[in-house]
Each structure stands twice: as structure tokens, then as C-alpha cells.
Structure 1
Amino acid sequence: MSRTRITATAIGLAGVLVASQAQAQSASSDQEIALLKQQLKMLEQKLDKLQNQTAANTAAAAKTKAEAKAEARSEAKAVVANANAAIPVKGPVAPSGVVVTMPNNRPTICTADGANCVAITSRVHWDVGGYDYRPNSAGTVPQKLDSGENVRRARIGVVGKLLEDWNFALIYDFGGTADGFGGTGAAGAVPVGFLPGGGTSGIENAFISYTGLKPFGGKMAIEAGVMDLAWTMDESMSSNDIPFMERASVGVIAQNIAAGDFRSAVGTRWYNDVFWAGAYATGPTTGAIHSASTASPPGTSEQYGATARVAGQVVSGNDYSMHLGADAQWLIQPPRNLIANTQTLTLSDRPELRIDPTTLISTGAIPNVSGAQVYGVEAAGTYGPLFVQGEYYWFNIDRNANTAVAPISTSSLNFQGYYAEAAYVLTGESRKYNPGNAAYGGVKPTNPFSLAGGGWGAWEVAGRVSQMDLNDKIASAAGIAGGRQTVYTLALNWYVNGNVRFMLDYLHGTVSKQPLPPAAFANTGASFDAVAMRTQFAF
């Protein structure tokens, strides 16, 4: 063979050999891939089996744990039941810890469940003012009224609730002036014509109230102690909220017979959003004489009386409402001087201002009083920022008691009085109705005064006319010439915020008074103008 052919043959054999080897290697790779796929599938099957087994074990463990807890809980209940059988449980234990809040800036501490709370409350009313007083004659008593200042109210105390349904209050008043003279007293206890107007400092509230009953879809309170009775609409509105520095004389005189501030009482009230009804048995005030030997006058017994009131918000809407009500009061047993064997009643008031303590109208001590009745009607309403209110009261005094004083007359005496007032909030706020007292609340400024925030508080103007007539049967010596007082009042109130208020009042008043026969007629009354300002802080 030639060299060329040999070379070509060799190259061909080499190519065949390479192709054969490549084909063999390709077949081997396919087998290996198939084997790997088979092994991977087997691993996936094993993994699925392990996952299913793990899930089954977890479920079984959870079931076992739940059964164990249920069994433990059942055993615990059994233990508690056995313990309760031996030692009765009086009530649930309140959660630990307290919550401190400041509603309307009143410091309040409550348990975590809110069932028990105690709060600090206070109010200060500081008045300054002056009189232009003009007596009608040289025989007028008094001849002068003193201008100056007076801490009208200075109260501090605690209020709160226990176990959700028990409410309480303990408030002491350090101010030197109560709301009125305090209608009853033994003969000779106060001089006729110049009667001290004020009361002394003392316990203003010390009562407990149960509110757990809710019959007929409303709320009910059963309460006892020393309290402010929600009797007359003017008295039912807080002194922090009334449009004028003082309430009208007719309401003050009526309340002082057997209701009013500092009054011991026990009774109940029921109310819902529309209707209010309440009745109380009342006793003496905290400043009255309670017992015999060392008091002045000595040996004076306590008085007993009763009050009732029904009222309701008969019409109401988003920006308007109307209220109507009726009131009744009975003096069942006046205080009696057991030594002198006398039984008297005095009706009097100052001229709707408390800067000077002198009363301008007074019946003096009416002798032989066996009882008294007072009946009244009340009406009020709001329309946006406008507020109107008025009341009329009629008094009947029985004087047929068997005492050591020879009766001038046994006929009853009748007196009457009224007031009507209106107020308008210039900044647009309105007074909201308070169903718990069946009266309207105060003005809460939408934009409290703030130099930084630009608010100016709320501004209100108000006017009132009031009259109280303590004259009856003045044509005879058996009558009572206590005088007739008419007062016109204008007011400007600035509600700085929810806690601070400034009040400016102007009063113009006249008093018509005369002696009883056989003295010659002479008008011993007076006229006056007064300007006064109150600085008020309350929470």
C-alpha cells in the first residue's frame, strides 16, 4: 500500500473509534440521569411521608395538651366550689392598680374596673361690691348698708362611688355666708328689723346614695344625710352655673323653711331623659340647734318637714327644649323652745346680694306657728343660646299651736312671690339639660380663653325681675308687715374656661314697708342700687 493510502486508512479507523466512544459515553449519561431521577422521586416520597407524620404528631400533642388543661380547669373549679362551700365569697375582687384622671380638672382616682372612685372637689366664690342705699324715712331700719367684700362660698371635699352603685359626698364650706337667713328659729333668737343674714361655716354635704335600682326604664337614687335638695328649679341648678350672683328671694325664702343647703334629709328620686320625681323627709340644718342644755337659746327641739317635686323636659330637640314642673313643701313640726314653750317661724332675705348681711324684708318671729305649706310652679326653656326661666311660690303659715304666748289671731297667713329671667350667650353656646336634677347646666365655652390659642371664652348677658311680698292682713294688728321687695338685675358673665368665671351684676331694688295699726301709716322702706363682681373658681 502506498503511504498515502495507509495514512487515510489510519485516519478513518481513528474517526470510527472516536465516534464509537462518544456513542458509548452518551448512552452511559442517559442511564445515570434516569437513575438520579428515580432516586430523587424516592426522596420526595420519603419527605412527604415524614411531613405527614410530623403533622400528625403535632396535632396529637395539641389535643393531649388541651385535654390536660380542661382537666386542670375542671379540678380547679371543683376546688373553688369546695372552698366556697366552707367560706362564702362576698363579691368579685377588683383588678389591681388604679387609674388617675382629671375630668374638668377635677383630680379623680378610680380602680382599674371603674367601680370605685374618689375625687376632690372645690369651689370659691369671692364677691366685692357696693351699695347706694336710700332709706325712705328716719324710722327705716337699717339706715345704711355696708359695701365691701365677702367670701360667699369656700368649699372643699371629696365625692365618689363605691362598688359601682354607692355614691357619697363629704364637703365642708369655709365661707361665711349661707344661702339665706335660715327660716326657723325660737322666739327672741334674732332681733326683728335687723336680722343677721348668713349662716356659719359647716358641713355642706355629708350623704350616701344608692343608685343600683333602675325601675320603669329610668334611674333611681335612694339617699340620706346632709345634702342640697333638688327642690325649686333655681336651687336645682348649681351655684356654679346660675346666671346671677344670687338666686331670687322667693326661692331662697321657700327653701329655708324645710329644704335648701346644709339640710339633713332622707328620700328618693327617680328620673329618665324626660321625667323627674322626688320626695324627701327633712330635718334641721347642720347649723341649727340640735339639743338642749348648752345651746342658745337652750332647750330647742329639732324641726321636721317634707318636700316633693315633679318636673319634666316636655319638649326637646337638637337646639331647643322646654321644662315644666311643680313643687310642694310642708313644715310638719317647727322647732320648739321647750323651756319658754314657744314655737315660731321667721321668713326673711337680703336684697339678692350678700355683701352686707342685713335683711330688708322680714316677717320677724311669727308666734304660735304649728306648720307651714309652700306650693310652686316652674317653667324654663332654651332656644339655641337663649335661656329663660321663671317660678312662682305661694306660702301658707298656720299659727294655731298651743304655746305659752297668747295668740293675737289663729288665722293662717299667706305670702307669695315670683321671678322671671332670661339669658343670652353672645358667643353662641347653649345650656344643656341635666335630667338628674331636672334643671339646666352652665355654659361651657367652645373656645376657652387663651392668649396662645386665640380663644376668648364665652360671654353671656342676663336680666331678671323678682318680687317677694311678706305682707298679709296689714290692715289689722293681727297681720304681718314684712315688706314687699322688688329687684331688677342685669348681669354680664365671662366664662374664661370650664373652671373660671367672672360675674358683674347691677341691681336696682325697692322695698315697701309699713308698721301695723294702730301706728300711723309710714313707708319705712328703702330703695337701692348696687354693683357687685364675683371671681369664681370651681372644679
Structure 2
Amino acid sequence: MLRKSFAAAALNLAAALAASQAQAQSASSSDQEIALLKQQLKMLEQKLDKLQSQTAANTAATAKAKLEAKAEAKAEARSEAKAVVANANAAIPLKGPAPASGVVVTMPNNRPTICTADGANCVGITGRLHWDVGGYDYRPNTAATVPQKLDSGENVRRARIGVAGKFFHDWNFALVYDFGGSSDGFGGAAPGSLPGGGVSGVENAYLSYTGLKPFGGKMAIEGGIMDLPYTLDEATSSNDIMFMERASAGIVATSIAAGDFRSAVGTRWYNDVFWAGAYVTGPATGAIHSASSVAPNGTTEQYGAVARVAGQVVSGKDYSVHLGGNAEWLIQPPRNLVTGAQTVTLNDRPELRIDPTALATTGAIANASGAQVYSVEAAATYGPLILQGEYFWYNIDRSANTGLPPLGAPSLKFQGGYAQAGYVLTGEGRSYNAANAAYGGVKPAHPFSLEGGGWGAWEVAGRFSTIDLNDQLGSATGIAGGRQTVYTAALNWYVNGNVRFMLDYLHGTVSKQASPVSTADVGSKFDAVAMRTQFAF
């Protein structure tokens, strides 16, 4: 109505103005009267615009107030509905315990792991299975060679299950049992057998504290049953090694006072470049510590020590160079509590575990008062290529006061080593694990999948290894353990981060004479083909 009134007034004013103009034309009115009328018309137009703006603002404010009122009403309705539901739920009793709060379940590398929300406490299930199938073409040199045959077949090399985790960030633990081994069962270790090589047992049961970080690095103080990171090959996980078995020279070294299933206490310090560690070691799990009539092989517990320094002396985006050195001491060999014998045995199966027979062996070295092993290690990577090698020197002291022959025999010296190379055909490389000063495994960039089109990662590898367990031949106090040489070619298929298939071909010779004073040939040759099916998490 207001807009109509102003419009009518404007029309009347215009009409009056027109009439005035007409009268001015006819009557010649003065210009001052026309100017006054124009000024009045302009003032009316300004008032009209101001009233229109005020009207629009009032309309918008009214609409906003209505919307806010509606939103407030809806919020009140929701609040009332929640209160009703909460009251209803409170009236219903809970079935079972209330769900735990602050717990996170994750699957790193497909390992089921439960952690607190802050990540300070975790426990995960870990396991691995290495199932080997293979056969030998074994050729003894003479009828006097022992053995005359090696058994082909299968072997659950490792079958481990356990838990691993941490408490309050800095306390790490593991408890792992291994059901595998050439015997695939339970029982005490036979004299001269390798730790963990032939019987099932506790593989890991340790506690490690990592809260100290001196000199800009990380430090671990640990003890229990553990796999010591002594030597480069042993510091590499069995899930990541290029061949089904490690080279015999390294196995012989670690069997003296290190290796898997070993009781130990010690410390290691490391950063991205340097690693240093030292441990006091004891017997391996499965050793019999009894002098009773039901355990005639019972012995006192042995004691030893190991030390290692290593690191990446050169590293870049896709290349690295690793160097290191190791030392091992058997301070107190085990002593048989029945016979008083104090012996050390160096041996290994021919880099395959289908048959448990050791072809190269010193036998039980009598009157052993101690042993020392010194070794050097080197490795390098360049993209998908890795080169690695180690060499070992063994010394056995024979000055124990057992009253058994040979008395006062000179110490024995042996040696051995290996060189190996691997190339990943699909281009993946191996990353460096600073905590153990060793290289990790191959993680396929494109895991095998029929739907996704990936084919995993493929690797070819070759190795030459040798160990000489002969010393002082021609002397009655010498040792004729034989010299073993093995050439191995491997093809590895990494299906994904958890599954791998390995195919190995081995060609080996064992040069051995019947005794230190007899040159009768009791050596042998062999070829072997074996495949491993592996999964781990």
C-alpha cells in the first residue's frame, strides 16, 4: 500500500508539473518555480528508495528468525530422543564383559597384533613354516665310505609359532617354539648334533630393554634364549636368506657357542651406519645337564662369548657397502659327568637338511679346553644385485686335564668360507636392517594375483662354499674331518610378503681320508635338488 501511495503521489506531482509547464508556456511562468518542483520530486524518490531498503531488510530478518526457531526445535527433539534411548539402554543388562577401551588390533605384515591405543604395549602372534622336499644323487668313492647312501624325501625344516611384543615402549620380548627339524619330533640332542638342527625346542624366550640411547644411537640389553646376530649370514633371518641353508662354514662357527636356540645375555648398540655387540653365551636348549644313570650323556653347562662389529661404510639411494668382523670364544666346553670326557665337535650336513648325516665332521675332539673362531664379512648391493661373503678361522685348544688320551696334543686349526651373489629379475632390492647389521628380504612390488595381474618377485642366486676340517694329517693326533666344497644355484619366487618358493640345485664333493694316518679314500660326491615351501608372518 505504501508503494502505491508514493506512486500515486509521484504521478500527481508529474501531472502538476506538466500542467505547470503548460501554464508556463502559456503564461510564461518563472524558471524558479520549475526548479523547485524538480527538487521536491528528487527528494520524494530518495525517500521511496530508503523505505524499500528497510522493507527488504525487515523481511530477511523475519525469515532468518523463523529458520533459527525451527533448527532449535529440531535440536531439542534430537536431544530428547537420545535421552529416551539412553534410558532404555540403561534399563537393559549387558551380556558379558564390557568391551575393552583403548585397544587397537593391527596386522603388520599379516601378523595379528594387539596394542594399546598409545602403542606402548603390544603382543603379536608370529610363526613360520619351511617345508622341504628333495632328493640326492649320492656317489660314495669307495665301499669304505660312510655313509653309503643319503635318504631322499621331505623335512619340516622349521615350524615355529609364538608371541612377540613389547611393554611400556622399551621392554621387548619373544616366546617362540620350533616343532621342526630333521627328526620332526621331541627328544634330547644326540652327541655331536647341531643346536636346533635335529630336535624341536624353545627357539626364542628372551627379554630386551631398549630404553637407553647413548651416543646418538640405540642400545639393547637382552638375555634369555635367542638367535644371536653373530656373523652376517646368521644375522639374516632364515625367512630372507637366498638359499635353503646357510653355508657350512658359518654353521660350523655358530654351532660352537652361538646360533639359534642359544642361551645368552649381552648388549648391542647401533645406528644407521655402525653396529657393535657382545654376548656371554651358555648351552643350547635340548642339552642334557644330568649325571644320572638315565642320562649317560649328561654334561656340565658350557660357557662362551661372541663379539661383532659391522656397519655400512658406504650407502646411497640404491647402493651400499657393508664390512664387519667377528670373534667367538668357547671358554668352558661341556664335560661329560660320567666319563669325564671334554670334547668339541665340528660338523655340518652338506647344506641341505633332507638327510641328517654330516659328511664333513671332525668327530669328537678329545681334551678340548677351549675354542676360538675369527671371521670377516663383506657385502654390497647395487639396485637388485647383492654380493656377500665371509671367511672363518677355527682354533681348538687340546689342553684339558681329563686324564684321557691324547694328552698334551697341539691345538688344531681349520678354515672355511663362502661367496654368493643374488639378482632380483623383477627389479626389487634388499633393504638394510640396522638393528642386526644385515640385509632384509625381497618384498615384491607387485604381489602375485590372478585378478591384479602381478607376478611377485623372482630372484636367481649362486654360491660357492668350502670348509676344510683336516689338520695335522700324518700324525696320530691329527684330525681327518674332510674338505667339503659345494656349488649351489637357486631360483626364488616371492609370491607376496608372506609366501616364498625356493628351488635349489647343489653339486658337492667331500675329499676325505680314512684317518689322519691312513690315506684310504672315503670321500664322496653328490648332486641334489630340493624345493622349499615357506610362509611366515
The normalised TM-score by structure 2 is 0.79
The residue aligned with 1:323 is 322
Deviation at 1:148, TM superposition (A): 0.2
- Offset of residue 410 of structure 1: 2.0
1:435-458 Cα deviation digits (max 9, x unpaired): 000000000000000000000000
Q: Which residue of 2 aligns with 1:101?
A: 106
Q: How far apart, CA to CA, are the structure 2 residues paired with 1:491 and 1:204?
A: 27
For residues 34-45 of structure 1, the aligned pairs below 5 Å read none
Q: What is the correspondence of 1:63-462 to structure 2 with a 5 Å cutoff? A: 96-177=101-182, 189=191, 198-293=197-292, 296-407=295-406, 409-462=408-461
Structure 1 stretches (4+) deviating beyond 3 angstroms?
195-198
Q: Which amino acid aligns with 2:318?
A: D
Give the secondary structure class of the aligned counterpart of 1:204.
Answer: strand
Cα distance between partner residues in 1 of 2:437 and 2:156: 29
What residue number does 1:532 align with? Answer: 530
Please give the secondary structure, in 1, of the residue aligned with 2:147: coil
Q: Note if contact 2:123-2:163 (Cα within 8 Å) is conserved in structure 1.
A: yes
Secondary structure of 1:149's counterpart equals strand
Partner in structure 2 of residue 484 of structure 1:
483
Deviates more, 1:315-324 or 1:403-412: 403-412
Secondary structure of the residue that 1:257 maps to in structure 2?
A: helix
Distance 2:257 2:303 in 1: 8
Counterpart amino acid of 1:528? F
Query: 1:511/1:353 Cα in 2 relative to 1: closer, same or farther (>3 Å)?
Result: same
Which deviates further from its counterpart, 335-344 or 212-221? 335-344
Say whether the 8 Å CA contact 1:423–1:463 is kept in structure 2: yes
| Contact 1:340 1:404 (C-alpha < 8 Å) held by counterparts | no
> Aligned partners of 1:253 and 1:537: how far apart in 2?
27
CA contact (8 A) 1:153 1:177 kept: no
What's the C-alpha RMSD, in Å, of the aligned pairs? 2.2
- Verify the 8 A CA contact 2:195 2:260 in the aligned structure 1: no
Deviation at 1:266, TM superposition (A): 0.1
1:476–1:516 Cα contact (<8 Å) kept: no
**How many Å apart are 1:478 and its aligned residue?**
1.0
Q: Distance in 1 between matches of 2:498 and 2:475?
A: 53
Cα distance in 1, alignment partners of residues 259 and 124 from structure 2: 24
Residue by residue over 1:141-194, the C-alpha shift from the partner in whole angstroms, topping out at 9 and shown as x without a partner, is 000001000000000000000000000000000102499xxxx98xxx459xxx
Q: Is the 8 A contact 2:236 2:439 kept in 1?
A: yes
**CA displacement at 1:406 relative to structure 2:** 2.5
Contact 2:344 2:365 in 1 (8 A): yes
> In the alignment, which residue of structure 2 is the partner of 1:67?
none
SS of equivalent residue, structure 1 residue 234: helix
**One-letter identity of the residue aligned with 2:279:** Y
SS of residue matched to 2:454? coil
Q: Is the CA contact 1:507–1:529 (under 8 Å) kept in the aligned structure 2?
A: yes
State the identity as a percent: 76
- CA distance in structure 2 between the partners assigned to 1:518 and 1:326 by the alignment: 36
- SS state of the match for residue 253, structure 2? helix
C-alpha contact (below 8 Å) 2:290/2:337 kept by paired residues: no
Alpha-carbon distance in structure 1 between the residues aligned to 2:438 and 2:197 = 26
Q: CA deviation at 1:342?
A: 1.2
Q: What TM-score results when the alignment is normalised by the length of structure 1?
A: 0.79
Deviation at 1:299, TM superposition (A): 4.4
Q: Which residue of 1 aligns with 2:23?
A: none
CA distance 1:391–1:190, change in 2 (3 Å): closer
Opposite residue 531 of structure 1, the aligned amino acid is V
TM-superposed CA distance for 1:432, in Å, is: 0.4
Secondary structure of the structure 2 residue equivalent to 1:486: strand
Give distance in 2, aligned partners of 1:313 and 1:197.
Answer: 31
Deviations 1:44-98 (A, max 9, x none): xxxxxxxxxxxxxxxxxxxxxxxxxxxxxxxxxxxxxxxxxxxxxxxxxxx9420
The answer on whether the counterparts of 1:197 and 1:358 sit within 8 Å (CA) in structure 2 is no
**Distance (whole Å) between structure 2 residues aligned to residue 257 and residue 390 of structure 1:** 20
Rounded to whole Å, the distance in 1 between the matches of 2:478 and 2:408 is: 9
